[in-house]
Each structure stands twice: as C-alpha cells, then as structure tokens.
C-alpha cells in the first residue's frame, strides 16, 4: 500500500495545473496563423514551461535561467552547485515550436500530449533531486 501525504497531493495538483497551462499555450500557438502573434504565443509557451520548471527547481534549491535558441526555440537551464561550487545538477530543457534532435534532458514541442508533458516534468523533477 502506498501512502500519499497532503504535500504530495498538493504537488500533483500544481503539476497537473502546470501541465494544462503548457498544453493550452501550445494549443493557442498551433491555432495561430500569423507570424507576429505566433512569436508572442511561443513566448507564452516558454513562460508556461518556465513557471512549471521554476516550481520544480525551487523544491530542490536549484537556479533557473532561460535563453533564446533561435527558430522559435528556447532553452531553460536548471543548475545547482554544491558547497565547493561544483556543478551538482545540470538540466537543459528545450521548448520549441518544432521537433528536433538535440542533446537535451527533455524537449517540449506542440505535438506533446498532456501525458508527455507530465512525464517531462516528472523527469526534470528526478534530475533535480
């Protein structure tokens, strides 16, 4: 039997809300048919992913940064250093408007289902422990 604490329930509820926010942002992006609004909507996708990943990073005392990667893509970096300033956690996540093969720990794209987004956030959580 698995016992789930209220903190775990709260974390799951927050995570599911974040999954839906990311999926909704991608849906809005895909529904757009003009480049200017599309750019703004891709920034909204990045912001939704950044918010979810920042919540995970906070739980594990990690720092988060983001950077433009070109072609409608962004990188979100999660790092934590130990007392000797050695890199302890180093996670790179790609948020993109197209599927591409890069050496990242996870990528979020418009084709991702809610389940895939949830798996991605769970994977990021594991890498931050």
* Residue spans per domain, the chain: 6-128
**60 confidence band (pLDDT: 50, 70, 90):** very high
Q: Which helix (H) or strand (E) holds 128?
A: helix 114-128
pLDDT value at residue 97? 84
Highest mean pLDDT among 6-15, 23-32, 49-58, 96-105: 49-58
**78 confidence band (pLDDT: 50, 70, 90):** very high
What is the spatial distance between Cα 76 and Cα 95, in angstroms, rounded to a whole number? 8
Residue 31: exposed, middle, or buried by beta-carbon count in 10 A (0-12, 13-18, 19+)?
exposed
% of residues, the chain, pLDDT over 70: 84
CA torsion, points 72, 18, 89, 98, in degrees to nearest 10? -20
Average of per-residue pLDDT across 30-45: 85
Q: How far is CA 51 from the centre of its chain?
A: 8
**8 confidence band (pLDDT: 50, 70, 90):** low
Among 100, 103, 110, 92, CA closest to 42: 110
Least confident of 68-72, 80-84, 102-106, 125-129: 102-106
Yes or no: say if 58 and 37 are a contact pair by the CB < 8 Å rule.
Answer: no
Q: How far is CA 119 from the centre of its chain?
A: 10
Q: What is the CA radius of gyration of the chain?
A: 15
Higher pLDDT among residues 28 and 72, named by residue: 28
What is the spatial distance between Cα 10 and Cα 18, in angstroms, rounded to a whole number? 12
């Amino acid at each position: 039997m698995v016992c789930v604490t209220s903190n775990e329930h709260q974390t799951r509820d927050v995570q599911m809300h974040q999954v839906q926010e990311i999926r909704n942002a991608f849906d809005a992006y895909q529904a757009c048919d003009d480049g200017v609004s599309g750019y703004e909507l891709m920034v909204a996708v990045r912001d939704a992913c950044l918010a979810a990943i920042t919540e995970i990073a906070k739980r594990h005392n990690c720092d988060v940064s983001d950077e433009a990667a070109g072609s409608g893509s962004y990188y979100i970096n999660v790092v934590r250093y130990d007392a000797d300033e050695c890199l302890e956690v180093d996670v790179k996540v790609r948020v993109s408007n197209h599927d591409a093969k890069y050496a990242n720990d996870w990528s979020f794209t418009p084709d991702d289902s809610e389940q895939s987004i949830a798996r991605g956030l769970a994977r990021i959580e594991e890498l931050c422990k």
